[in-house]
Amino acid sequence: MRTKPLRILDPYAVPGRECKAQLHCHTTASDGRLRPQEAVDRYRQAGYAFLALTDHDRITRVEAPEDGDFCVIPGVERTVPRPVRPLGPHLGCLFVHRLPEGRSAQALLEDVAAQGGIACLNHPSWKGNFWTAQWTEAALRHLRGYRLMEVWNPHSDPEEDIRRWVVACRRCGSGCPVAPVASDDLHEETDFNRGWVVVRVERITQEALRAALLHGAVYASTGPAARFGVRKGCVVVETDASWIRFYDAHQRLRHEARGPEAQYEPGAEEGFVRVECVGRSGARAWSAAFWVVPEEAMLP
């Protein structure tokens, strides 16, 4: 029996509609196969509302004016030298107008923030760059200022990435939430449209996307569509996936139900609740964290 009233923090409690976004892809400006304008056209035709071109260690600019239906945001995938580039993990830098500089991950994060940007820890368990590219648990606990983290990338281990994302969520807490990202990390044609995020926005603009990402009004997907929220003390889900699973902050499965709808009432000991929607083919969608806090913690 509860002794104190609880409140569930709902990251999706914002006005707007769900729009598809790709936050990590490459072009011929680095090691991709599509020219920048080809990439823009391809994602737009596939129904995306937002696209970030994140070539390696350079900002790729294209002529793509915001027209209310599609928006290209500036970005770059910056290599953190370990000990020197090109070795080291990759930091996604969104909404930056110049190349972030710094010899350490923390210095790069601070430069991204100084530009009004948002940083994403890309493919945290990727074993590339001669095993220097992973975002270790020590780094997740030490670093300050990242707000996004990939939970699915075609070049990484999703189960390990999810585990590390949960570590990051616990470390950063409800006051600085780390939202989940899936991306196709487009290099080859076969990568296209394999992973993306869905954001809740009122307008198709850079400012609206930035606000949604910072608020955590985003979910990651490799196929299933979903709608998440809070109603009468429960986390509620509607999805086209076959199964709905609720996990707590300690990676314990708390409840499982068949789609298309489910709800779960969390307790204070769970820390937060996150949801996975699993399709018949194994494709999944991952919600942001729903933090469970004492009601008095919300009082001024």
Q: CA-based Rg of the chain, rounded to a whole angstrom?
A: 19
User: What is the full DSSP assignment across 108-164?
Assistant: HHHHHHHTT-EEEE-STT--HHHHT----HHHHHH-----EEEEE-TTS-HHHHHHH
Helices and strands, number each (H, E), in the chain: 6, 18
Q: What is the pLDDT of residue 296?
A: 66
pLDDT of residue 300: 47
Distance between start and end Cα atoms, the chain: 27
Closest CA to 61 of 97, 111, 115: 97
The per-residue pLDDT for 66 is 66
Residue 297, pLDDT score:
56
pLDDT digits (tens, 9 = 90+) for 65-95: 667 899 999 999 999 999 888 899 999 999 9
- What are the pLDDT digits (tens) for 128-144? 999 999 999 999 999 99
Q: How far is CA 78 from the centre of its chain?
A: 17
pLDDT tops 90 at residue 124: yes
Sign of CA dihedral 277, 279, 167, 184: negative
Burial class (CB in 10 A: 0-12, 13-18, 19+), 110: middle
Q: What is the DSSP letter of 105?
A: H
- Evaluate if residue 56 carries a pLDDT over 60: yes
pTM over 0.85: yes
Q: Work out the mean pLDDT of the chain and round it to a whole number.
A: 95
What is the C-alpha separation between 287 and 273, in angstroms, rounded?
9
Q: How far apart are CA 158 and CA 141, in angstroms?
A: 20
Pairing of strands 50-53, 17-22: parallel
Q: In this structure, how many other beta carbons lie within 10 angstroms of the beta carbon of residue 130?
A: 10
Residue 267 pLDDT exceeds 80: yes
